[in-house]
Structures are given as structure tokens and as C-alpha cells.
A and B are shown apart, each in its own frame.
Chain A
């Protein structure tokens, strides 16, 4: 069974179309990065998956309809919406008590274990904690839930680099296993690149790219081409070209590595490079149509 399955998922806010007929399928045991520019529809898509917003089209999460069965679904799903949702008045001990009280799959000892590695005191109120500590607390609460799907929406927004790195490290080391699925939406792509198994680009309410990381690594190649070779390289139809010191960098989709090696240094592009190429082409294509 797929963990998340959507067909023709649509959502409009007035005249503004946030999701324009999305089809997607996320299998169990994957770590999916949902990447898109601001306002692309990432949060709307996640909100639909979490049962926080009504939608048109078909959507199943762990076999349930999230809009009508949110409370049952939340036994198997945990999420961090963004850093600032823990109420400022709550004490750490109260947060633990409450989640332990209402969640059948919450392992309090595990949460206390995570907290013991931090400097967060049980008696502190959230308003007394730093932004990074609040995220650590939220993550400790969420990671102690034995959920099948974890959804993270810009979980490290506004955190310094130390906390950001720690966040993804503990997620990978202490939480992930092959029975769980994680969906992360972010535009800080570099930080999650090494964590992901799959990547999706979303732009203007549509999924414009959907690949596993292996596919991305084998199909997409980037070559640093010296200026005298650019003509030959362009004949191979690069997806994207940008200028750098000492030559142009061309991004190819599905071109043989040997062939490219003759033109210059070949390397695997980062997600960010592929993202810029794909989204840039999309916008170019749309502009072309308009013209």
C-alpha cells in the first residue's frame, strides 16, 4: 500500500489556484523532499495530506481520507508544521503529560531520553526557551511517537546552522527506519540533500519533477565546459546552461557520461542545480507560451 496517494488534488483560494490537479504517490519507507519556490503550494499540499484543509480530488493517506478522519489518522501521523506552534504558556512537563495523555503511541521514556541530551529543563515554559530549544522540544515529542508517516514543513526555518544539522542528524539516526515515511517540505535544499531517497519539485500548484535520488544521480550530469567546446556541448541539448569562472556549466539529462567526459569535468549536480534548471525551464516555457 502506498503511504500517500493523490489523484487530481485541487485546491483554490478564491481565484488563486494553490494546487492544480496534483497526482502523487509516496511509497512506505521513503524520505521525500518536497521542494518548491515560495507560494508554490508546498504547505497547501501538506495541509491537505494532514487533514487541515479541504480539497477537491482524491487523496488517501495510510488508506484514510485525511479531511474526514483527521483524528484517527493522527494516531499514525506526526507532524511539525513550523517552529512556532508550541504555545508559549506550556511547560515542558505539561507538554509531555498532554501528549502522553492523548496519544496511544507516545513513548514518554523515549521523549525524556531525547530531552536529556539537551539543556531543556522540565519546569521551563516554552516562552523561556530559545527558538532552537523549542524545535528540539517539538522534535523530541514527535520522535517519541511511533508513527508511520512524519510530515515536516520547513522544520528548521529560522534556526542557526548547528541546530539545523543536529535536527536532520537525529531524525536520520534516531527515528528513521524502513517502516516509516518522512515527507519534508523546504527550500533549504542543501541541508536535506544527503538525507532524501526521493525528490519532488512543485511549482505553481503542479508537480514538475518526481524522481528517486538514484535516478537523479544517474540521469543528471553536470559538465564544466571550456569556452571553445561550448558549441559541441550545446549540440547535445543541455537542459540548462550557466556561466562560471573558467567556462560554462551545462546540465544534461540522460546523456552518456563517457560522451560528456570528453567535453570537460563531469560531476553529479546538486538538487539545487537541477531545481534551478527544471523550474527555470518551466518559467521560460510558460513565458514562451504567453508571448
Chain B
């Protein structure tokens, strides 16, 4: 007991001498993001689970014909199941992002833990940036990595099945043009599913920092009100289409040949220039910045619910 009592003042003196001042903001951001991952394990668990189920379905469909035609291994059209799997992962990314953003600044007020976070020397800006970086960097990174890993396993499995049935693997690999497929996937993901819907995610973050209950309802209200008004007066639905189009990633990132529905590198033409010069992108990103700045200010003012 005595030694412990003596040790305590010494160690506190030491820590005073060593750590006097502030920590680099990158370190604060890093720990803030780690805490988001601890709290929201769905960020990595859901993509992994969906990928697992998709893989299982793919493997099963190679053997039994109970699955839909496109899912079955078809050496003539090898692209189809890969596209379906990638599409499924992108949908997963959207769903996880939406649910994450709706809770990000609401959950900490509901469970009063905001008082703990605010008792530590981390600014509201750092906290909001950490939360905003989840749908911008971390979740896309996880979804792309899991998708690539999943497609790699699918490819190995297909190769094994093709080999077992006595056909040549080379043909499958050539038809798939795997590297182009992955580059296209990466491009499509970053443009259509990260940058394009980002203002929607930032809007959800902002509302999650403001609403005292029913975050989703409040977030959807402007779309319903403006959309409803527009429909009644002009009989159009542009506003709802714009918001929905951003959310589902309906961006001018590529031209697809008629009849093609997936990321087939042979029939798809990438249009980087059109995407970069589209006002929808830049207006959206500017709105994102405004929403995040407002969320930072809100977090400074907000108290537990």
C-alpha cells in the first residue's frame, strides 16, 4: 500500500514532464475513428455477412439449378454473377451508410455518452470529421476490399468447377478480363457510391445531430414536403429524383452498351470527364461541406436528450 502511494505522485510528475501540451490532431482523429468502429461494428460485420451469404449462394448455384439463371455459372457469360455480387455489396454499402449516419450524432446524445466524449480534449470538429469519414473513406474501403476478396474466391471456385468439368480455365479468365473488371469496379464505387451520394450522407449526419427523436422522419421530411409541393404544382418529381439518384449512385460515370446492365469492361465506356464536370457533383460536395459545418456547430450546442 505504501509503495503504491509513493509511486503515484512520481508517475504523475513524470507524465506532467513528458506530456505537456497537446496531441497531434491526426492522433485524435485516429482514436475517434477507432471508437466509431467499436461502437458500430455493423460497418464491417454487415459487408462480411452479406459477402458470406452471396458466396454461399454462388457456390450452391454452380451445382444445383434451383437458383435463378443469371446466378449460375455460365462460361459464355461469366461476368454476370460477379456483377450481381458487386451490386449487392454496393447496396449493402448504401444501407450501412444510411443507418450509420442516422445514428452517428443522435446515439451519443440519446445514451448521454456525449458528456463523456465532451469531457475529453477532442474538439467537435474532430469528432464530426471522424464520423463523416466513415461513409467517405472507411466504409467504402471495407466494402471494396470485401468485394474484391469475394470475387477472388468466386473466381477460384469457378476455376475449380471448370477444371473439374474438363474445360479450359484460360478461357474463363480471358472472358472475365479480371483486372479491368476490378479497376472498373473501384472507379464506379468511388465515383457513384462515395462522391455522388456524399451530400445525402452529410444531410443525414446533420439531422442526426439536430433531431430529438425520429431522425429518419426528419431527414426525409424535406424530400416529402418539397417533392409533394413540386408534384402538386408542377406535376413533376425532379427534386425527389435528384435526391434518390444521388443516394443510389445514379451518376454520369460511364456509358453502358444497350442491354448491358453490369460493369462489363468490354461494353462499358468510362466517362471521367463528364463526371468531373457535372454540376451535380460539385454542388453536392459544396452542400456536404455546408452540412458538416452546421453539424459541428450543432454538436457544440447540443446536450443529451
Any chain A CB within 8 A of the CB of B12? yes
A146 within 8 Å of B by Cβ? yes
Contact present for B116 and A86 (CB under 8 Å): yes
Q: Is the CB of B31 within 8 A of A87?
A: no
* Cα distance, A110 to B15, chains bound together (Å): 11
In the complex, the chain A residue whose C-beta lies closest to that of B116 is A85
Give chain A's interface residue range (CB within 8 Å of chain B). Answer: 35 or more
A50 and B119 in contact, given A89-B38, A89-B39, A110-B11 (Cβ under 8 angstroms) = yes
User: Is A85 in contact with B112, judged by CB distance below 8 angstroms?
Assistant: yes
A-B contact pairs, 15 of them (CB 8 A): A50-B118, A71-B124, A73-B121, A79-B119, A87-B111, A88-B111, A97-B34, A98-B34, A99-B120, A102-B27, A102-B120, A104-B19, A104-B121, A109-B11, A142-B119
A65 at the interface (CB under 8 A from B): no
Interface pair A107/B15, CB less than 8 Å apart: yes
A243 part of interface (Cβ distance < 8 Å): no
What is the CB-to-nearest-CB distance from B109 to chain A, in angstroms, rounded to a whole number?
Answer: 11
Interface check B123, CB cutoff 8 A: yes
For the complex, what is the distance from the CA of A85 to the CA of B123, rounded to whole Å?
18
- Given A104-B21, A110-B8, check contact A52 B118 (CB 8 Å): yes
> Residues on A close to B: CB < 8 A?
47, 50-54, 70-75, 77-82, 84-91, 94, 97-99, 101-107, 109-110, 113, 138, 142, 146, 174, 177
**Minimum C-beta distance from A125 to chain B (A):** 10
Contact check, B22 vs A72: say whether CB atoms are below 8 A apart.
Answer: yes
> Closest Cβ of chain A: how far from B281's Cβ, in Å?
33
User: Count of chain B residues with Cβ under 8 Å from any Cβ of A?
Assistant: 39
Bound Cα distance from A115 to B301, whole angstroms: 33
**CB-CB < 8 A to A98: which residues of B?**
31, 34-35
Q: How far is the CB of A268 from chain B (nearest CB, A)?
A: 31
Please name the 7 residue pairs, one residue from A and one from B, whose CB atoms are nearest each other, closest first. A101-B31, A87-B113, A81-B115, A71-B123, A74-B121, A104-B19, A85-B115
Chain B interface residues toward A at CB < 8 A:
4, 8-9, 11-12, 15-16, 19-23, 27-28, 30-32, 34-35, 38-39, 108, 111-116, 118-124, 126, 300-301, 303
- Identity of the chain A residue whose Cβ is nearest the Cβ of B19 in the assembled complex: A104
Among residues of B, the one whose C-beta sits closest to the C-beta of A69 is B123
Cα of A71 to Cα of B299 in the assembled complex, Å: 13
Q: Is A101 within 8 A of B34, CB to CB?
A: yes
> Do the beta carbons of B30 and A101 come within 8 Å of each other?
yes
Measured between alpha carbons, how far is A106 from B12 in the docked complex, in Å?
9
Is B38 a contact partner of A105 (Cβ separation < 8 A)?
no
Using A52-B303, A53-B303, A110-B8 as known contacts, say yes or no to A78 and B119 having CB atoms under 8 A apart: yes
Using known A-B contacts A53-B303, A75-B22, A101-B34, determine if residue A87 contacts B121 with beta carbons closer than 8 Å: no
Specify which of A54, A72, A94 is in contact with B301 (CB 8 Å cutoff).
Answer: A54
User: Which residue in chain B gives the minimum CB-CB distance to A151?
Assistant: B119
In the complex the two chains form, is B4's CB within 8 Å of A102's CB? Answer: no
Q: How far is the CB of A23 from chain B (nearest CB, A)?
A: 25
How many Å from the CB of A87 to the closest CB on chain B? 4
B31 touches A85 (CB 8 A): no
Known: A102-B28, A107-B11, A146-B15. A85 touches B113 (CB 8 A): yes
Shortest A200–chain B CB gap in Å is 22
Further pairs besides A70-B123, A87-B108, A89-B39: 13, Cβ < 8 Å: A51-B118, A52-B115, A52-B118, A70-B300, A81-B119, A97-B31, A98-B35, A102-B23, A102-B122, A109-B11, A110-B8, A113-B4, A177-B9
**Chain B minimum-CB-distance residue to A90:** B38
User: CA separation between A250 and B21, bound complex, in Å?
Assistant: 53
Report the bound CA distance from A72 to B126 in whole Å.
Answer: 13
| Chain A residue contacts of B115, Cβ below 8 A | 52, 81-82, 85
**Given A52-B303, A54-B301, also A107-B12 (CB < 8 A):** yes
**Cα–Cα, bound, A71→B128 (Å):** 14
Smallest Cβ-Cβ distance to B30: which chain A residue: A101
B78 to chain A, nearest CB (A): 43
Q: In the complex the two chains form, what is the Cα distance from A47 to B114 in whole Å? A: 13
A107 to B23, CA, bound (A): 15
Q: Tell me, in angstroms, the Cα distance from A137 to B139 when the chains sit together.
A: 32
- A residues less than 8 Å from B116 (CB atoms): 81, 85-87, 138
Residue of B nearest to A74 (CB): B121
Contacts of B31 in A (CB 8 A): 97-98, 101-102
**Which single member of A53, A75, A82, A110 contacts B12 (CB below 8 Å)?**
A110
